[in-house]
Amino acid sequence: MSENVAVIGVGHSKFGSRKDVNIPELAWESIKPALDSANIEQKDIDFFVVGNAGVWSSEAAIPALMAEYADLAPKGSMRVEAACATGNAAIRVGYQAIKSGEADVVLVLGIEKMQESPNPTVIELIGRFGSYFWEFENFGLTFPGYYALHGTAYMMKYGATEEDYARVAVKNHYYGAKNPYAQFQKEVTIEKVMEPKYVAWPFKLFDCSPITDGSACVILASEEFAKDVEDKIWIHSQGVGTGTANLSRRSDFTSLESARYAAELAYKRAGIDMDAPYKYLDGANVHDCFTAPEIIAYEDLRFAKRGEGVQLIRDEQTYIGGRIPVNVDGGLKAKGHPIGATGVSQAVEAYKQLLSKAEPGRQAEIKHGRWLAHNVGGTGHYSYVTIYGLEKLKK
């Protein structure tokens, strides 16, 4: 068994419309730099995990494709799916494989090629990440509609406005413009965000994350294997929560209970004070599939009290230099949201930030040596919160 698990290498493809490559080629764009940065070869991998939802792309046997193309056969593998939280779920499988002593080195790949299907097909398939027969078939809810329910509930209860949600898009595009791997690399203004027609009120085009192709990869290693690796970070803790399938079974649309639960577990296991966890963190990546969920995440993660998350974005407290920098890689909103890769991409960002390897203009100040990743599947159907650290967790 390994007391601690390290991230010893990372890789990231360009996110966007990647019709220039097939799925194995897209995967190799992140696998190769991950192996190189970890200074290992394929023979050193004991096990590999692939996070892939995959219902919109041509290939189904993704791990076997990776084994063939990346020369990983006959090593053991697993494909993981947990809706939009697939990437962090894949990391959890790799983390547990090392913690249990089953492996010393695990490659975790997140990959999605969503644009192999037409947009209406992808929109319908994403809509099935809730309760398909009850909510999608009977009421026609699409994914923007699901989160619009949360966005309007937050507006009614706490006085948030469409302009407040636009501020989230402005921030995330500001940092996405500085990220060479991001799908969108142009800044936007509040006025620009407010221009388009509604997708699902109160969300307009720039309130919604895009349909994205991309891959991200991390190499996880046991404490023994990682002891001589210079550039590494550690997984301090993980928390996992699950929500009800039917939204009608939930009592509050201004919060995701599964995310709150996952955060509490992660904070407790990492020894972080739940009254003000932002005082122990240098930054966070939160699941901004739409703009309103980012603000809701501020409160679920206890960066702000209930109803006060909106004030953080108004006061620019989630920019670098504020209370806690959030999504300074562009987030799902501007970096892109290739569903299986998103949670792994968050881990890549934690590695880069904690080791001060982020691109100019988006490197946070590292004082505490900890970074948080919050990855949500569906509308809180699955929630993962992972805390990464520069140093091994002190018991």
In angstroms, rounded to a whole number, what is the distance separating the alpha carbons of residues 69 and 51?
17
- Three-class secondary structure of residue 280 per DSSP: helix
112: three-class secondary structure by DSSP? strand
Q: What is the CATH number of the domain that holds 220?
A: 3.40.47.10
**Nearest 5°: phi and psi at 15?**
-90, 150
Those residues with Cβ within 8 angstroms of residue 35's Cβ, 6 or more apart along the chain or in another chain: 9, 11, 41, 42, 107, 219
Structural domain boundaries enclosing 40: 5-117+212-226
**Would you state the pLDDT for residue 259?**
98
Quote the tokens at residue 377. 């599947």
Question: Is 316 domain-assigned?
Answer: no
- Predicted local confidence at residue 306, as pLDDT: 97
pLDDT for residue 138: 60
Has residue 46 been placed in a domain?
yes
- pLDDT (tens digit, 0 to 9) for every residue of the chain, 395 residues total? 778 999 999 999 999 999 999 999 999 999 999 999 999 999 999 999 999 998 878 888 889 999 999 999 999 999 999 999 999 999 999 999 999 999 999 999 999 999 988 888 877 777 777 766 666 666 667 889 889 999 999 999 999 999 999 999 999 999 999 999 999 999 999 999 999 999 999 999 999 999 999 999 999 999 999 999 999 999 999 999 999 988 888 889 999 999 999 999 999 999 999 999 999 999 999 999 999 999 999 999 999 999 999 999 999 999 999 999 999 999 999 999 999 999 999 999 999 999 999 999 999 999 999 999 999 999 999 999 999 999 998 76
Q: Which residues are catalytic?
A: 84, 337
Half-sphere CA count of 45, side-chain side, radius 13 A: 28
Within-domain flag for 94: yes
**In a domain? residue 70:** yes
Condensed to tens digits (0 to 9), the pLDDT of residues 271-319 reads: 999 999 999 999 999 999 999 999 999 999 999 999 999 999 999 999 9
340-375 burial, b if ≥16 CB within 10 A, otherwise e? bbbbbbbbbbbbbbbbeebeeebbbebebbbbbbbb
Within a domain: residue 295?
no
Q: Can you give the pLDDT at residue 87?
A: 98
Q: Decide: 284 and 372 in contact? Cβ < 8 Å.
A: yes
Q: What is the pTM of this model?
A: 0.96
> What is the total count of domains within the chain?
1
pLDDT in tens, 64-122: 999 999 999 999 999 999 999 999 999 999 999 999 999 999 999 999 999 988 888 87
Per-residue model confidence (pLDDT) at position 134: 65
Angle at 35 between CA 52 and CA 230, to 5 degrees: 120
Which ranges of 195-338 does DSSP label H, i.e. alpha helix? Answer: 223-226, 257-270, 291-300, 309-314, 331-335
